[in-house]
Amino acid sequence: MTKVLFVITAADRWTLADGEVHPSGYWAEEVAVPHRNFSEAGWDITIATPGGTPPTLDRLSLGISGGLPWNRRKVEHYLESIADELATPVSLDTVDQADYDVVFYPGGHGPMEDLAYDETSGALLTARLASGRPLALLCHAPAAILAATAADGTSPFAGYRMTGLSNREELLNRFARKAPWLLEDRLKEAGVDYSKGTLPLRPHIVVDRNLYTGQNPQSSDRLSERIIADVGAKA
């Protein structure tokens, strides 16, 4: 059976440049849709967070920012169906990425608060990228690569083609105008070959070697289905 390590932020906030604490966490669609797709493919999913802390749902992701009402209800119902899994994650420092066929990081603003600075996650990402086995990061989750460092001090992701939430999309959130930094800027500073779709809030994925990235919540389905197809083709 294909095994997936699902790494979710444990942060419940995003601290803005002026010190304001914006309630945050993981984005509903980015957990629900890939989890559902992987489950329907018959894959075994292990949810991990820093410290084994149950992840916090960003309530904005079930409001108007989460898309059409019917889709939000569908996402919410799915999250309710996996509530026990979400309530009992394993601690990220107890897992070995080599035990999994796929490592998948969903987003939300939470990764900007914790995974971007988490040394355990950074080491996992460095090892996973070097392994040549599938690694996927969605929306804000590419912030986690900022904690990954090669032996020479550079980013192991430098030179890789990637996407992630664009500055234009981020600044659609009024509170983001007080952001301490923006993801697109930091990815470029890390040496990533960053790209984004022509239109904001439309599905856009990038695949470079074993690295899979999705730009925004709308990319959740396309990204996870691409991974399923590629892993199935190699089976």
Residue ranges covered by each domain of the chain: 3-233
Better pLDDT: 151 or 13: 13
Q: Residues 6 or more apart from 76 whose CB is under 8 A from it? A: 28, 62
Percent of the chain with pLDDT over 70: 100
Whole-angstrom distance, CA of residue 58 vs CA of residue 109: 8
**pLDDT digits 0-9 by tens, 79-88:** 999 999 999 9
**pLDDT digits 0-9 by tens, 6-26:** 999 999 999 999 999 999 999
Whether the predicted pLDDT of 144 surpasses 80: yes
Whether the predicted pLDDT of 234 surpasses 90: no
Classify 3-233 by CATH class.
Answer: alpha beta
Mean pLDDT of the chain: 97
SS3 166: coil
Interval 18-39 mean pLDDT: 98
Is-contact 92 115, C-beta < 8 A? no
Interval 173-200 mean pLDDT: 97
Whether the predicted pLDDT of 235 surpasses 80: no
Residue with tokens 């967070």: 49
Whole-angstrom distance, CA of residue 32 vs CA of residue 231: 20
Whether the predicted pLDDT of 183 surpasses 80: yes
CB burial of 75-95 (b: ≥16 within 10 Å; e: otherwise) equals bbebbeebeeebeebeebeeb
